[in-house]
Chain A
């Protein structure tokens, strides 16, 4: 599968991340696919940190999916890593895409959860429309 996103779609994705997460105090938010491809991102961290974080987030989701299967679940729809001051929230958008939010303790987890859900609802139609419009490559 290949994915091409128009300028307009990328703008839309960025504005969704801004409105639902970054405006609520999230340090950085990004969308990846399950292979670790970085689709869209916004926030304070430099790109050189976001690329490895994207790869590790996809791997993290993939590994816990295996754990889920072993206990009779298909997958886990969200993962939350709690640090002393910094936290990571990863949630599944659909079977192909994952939304990741990096945030500090000053932001309530409920706000992240709510923002992630609202963002996912708006992201799905953008990514699925683009996928449908492609002749598959592989």
Chain B
């Protein structure tokens, strides 16, 4: 739910990183936290198991600047990608305003990407949100592995698998190296803010 506070002149919106387990959602958020200035980015919260799998969510608040005289605060969350944590994913998706779908470029993850996207569609439906109406951006992560011996999917294959029907912006990335992380964040933020401010300008409030 986007929330506009007319006393503080502030917009708050919720952005969720979604995608298959081990795809790199948490790595995206860690990169943002590590590289952004403290003025922009607040305290990070991660709830994970002893290893590195997200158990509940990661959370990072960002104050990204002003639009139409309103300061914009984005609350960034990741879901746990492991299939069995669907209840938790649904909880984190509550009140979502925008989604980054982080797909894994590993060839062995091809089917998991498709299933996770389908799972997103279903869980959004339960929230009465259509996949075509919500601000959505795809990220094809782990492109750095193109230079290794590990088999990975081509960007064309990933477009075909995931973006054929959606036709949304997509970005190649290496969250581990930081490539494409900000491009992805910038695009989805722009889409989210545009959606809220359009409604404001049209006098829907």
Q: Which residues of A contact B (CB under 8 A)?
A: 1-7, 10-11, 33-39, 47-49, 51-52, 55-56, 58-59, 62-63, 66, 134-135, 137-138
Contacts and interface: CB of A to CB of B under 8 A. Distances in A.
B14 interface: yes
A11 B8 CA distance: 11
Contact of B94 (A34, A38, A49, A66): A34
Nearest to A130: B205
Interface of B: 1-8, 12, 14, 42-43, 45, 47, 56-57, 59, 61, 75, 77, 87, 91-92, 94-96, 128-129, 133-134, 195-196, 199, 204-205
Contact of B12 (A37, A49, A62): A37
A3 B61 contact: no
A51 B2 contact: no
Contact of B59 (A1, A2, A11, A55): A55
Contacts of B87: 66
9 interchain residue pairs of minimum CB distance: A35-B95, A10-B7, A62-B91, A4-B4, A35-B94, A51-B61, A7-B7, A55-B59, A52-B45
Given A37-B12, A37-B14, A3 B1 contact: yes
6 contacts: A1-B95, A4-B3, A4-B205, A34-B94, A138-B133, A138-B134
A2 B56 CA distance: 25
Nearest to A35: B95
Contacts of A35: 1, 14, 94-96
Contacts of B7: 5-7, 10-11
Given A4-B6, A10-B7, A39-B3, A56 B45 contact: yes
A3 B61 CA distance: 19
A108 B12 CA distance: 34
B1 A49 contact: no
Contacts of A49: 43
A59 B42 contact: no
Contact of B61 (A33, A52, A63, A137): A52
